[in-house]
Amino acid sequence: MPDWLRLALGTLTVFRVPPPRVVNSHVAARAMLAAPVVGVVLSIPAALIVWIIPAAAGRGTTTSSVAIAALAAVLGLTALAALTRALHLDGLADTADGLGSGRNGADALTVMSKSDIGPFGVVTLVLVLLIDVASLTVCITAGRGVLALVVAVVVSRAVLPLACRRGVPAARSTGLGATVAESVSPPAAIAAVALATILSVAAGYSTGGKGVAIACLLAALGGLLGGLVLLRRCCARLGGVTGDVVGAMVETTLCVALVIFAVTA
């Protein structure tokens, strides 16, 4: 197994793989560019849950259908968290604490490095998860749950090459952020994002025609924009990216994409 694949799987999933023998900018770049493909792998078990539970429950009243959809959404997102060791959710909470502390630079990074989660992190985590569940529930009820989840997961991993592109410095000299920061060339990052977006639109078109394809496009672009807005904020406050910031970008992109899917369902 090549080192870049070991780094991608070992970092972005719960799968146990041998550690990479060498980690340099080339290996880090290929690992981050492979993130959308890893997203496809992660989305399959979660999407199966979202598909199987409503199908097994069959048709019922409107109230029971919504309840089953909500259950499927919770279990699907739980599976996704388990498959990633909740790594990105942890990054979201830590980043929220750092930004919410009102501090800048090293002081904010110190807050983020603490092992406990502060009030900003807890509130952000709860709200984002509630929004994720509510949005996915709407999508499942509308018959788009599997598509919405797969596209959102893939696009949320496509934000990683943008976070790690050259010109976006690491906020720390050590850690995961320092390992992957500025490893991806801007053209390669744009190509990875474009490919993920095109495939998402194609999936939408093949399953539901032009209207669903447009929903996929809006979800992909909106989600990526949400992640980039957070990146800009973090660079201004923290001086660059960290592993926590990268994780927070993944969760932000996922959340925004699901919301857009729900609104357009």
pLDDT, tens digit (0-9, with 9 covering 90-100), for 151-205: 999 999 999 999 999 999 999 888 888 889 999 999 999 999 999 999 999 999 9
Q: What is the mean pLDDT of residues 138-153?
A: 95
What's this model's pTM, rounded to 2 decimal places? 0.94
pLDDT at 95 over 80: yes
According to the model, what pLDDT value does residue 59 have?
Answer: 60
Which pLDDT belongs to residue 192?
A: 95
According to DSSP, residue 114 is labeled: S
Question: Nearest to residue 99, comparing CAs of 257, 260, 255, 229?
Answer: 229
Q: How far apart are CA 160 and CA 162, in angstroms?
A: 5
Q: Are 47 and 146 in contact (CB under 8 A)?
A: yes
What is the C-alpha to C-alpha distance for residues 61 and 59, in angstroms, rounded to an integer?
A: 7
- Report the first-to-last Cα separation within the chain, whole angstroms: 41
Kindly tell me if the per-residue pLDDT of 257 is higher than 60: yes
Q: What are the percentages of helix, strand and coil residues in the chain, rounded to 5?
A: 80, 0, 20
* Cα pseudo-dihedral 172, 90, 126, 84, rounded to 10: 140
**Least confident among 61-70, 71-80, 125-134, 225-234:** 61-70
Which residue's structure tokens are 């929004």? 131
pLDDT given at position 208: 86
d(CA 118, CA 112) in angstroms, rounded, equals 9
**Length of the chain, please?**
265
User: How many distinct helices (H) and strands (E) make up the chain?
Assistant: 12, 0
Locate 32 and state its tokens.
Answer: 């981050």
The gap from C-alpha 216 to its chain's centroid, in whole angstroms, comes to 16
To the nearest whole number, what is the mean pLDDT of the chain?
92
Closest-CA residue to 83 (of 117, 52, 48): 48
**Residue 97 one-letter amino acid:** D
Q: What is the pLDDT of residues 13-31, one digit of tens each?
A: 999 899 888 888 899 999 9
Which of 29-38, 72-81, 94-103, 124-133 is predicted least confidently? 94-103
Summarize pLDDT for 34-71 with one digit per residue, the tens: 999 999 999 999 999 999 998 887 665 555 788 899 99
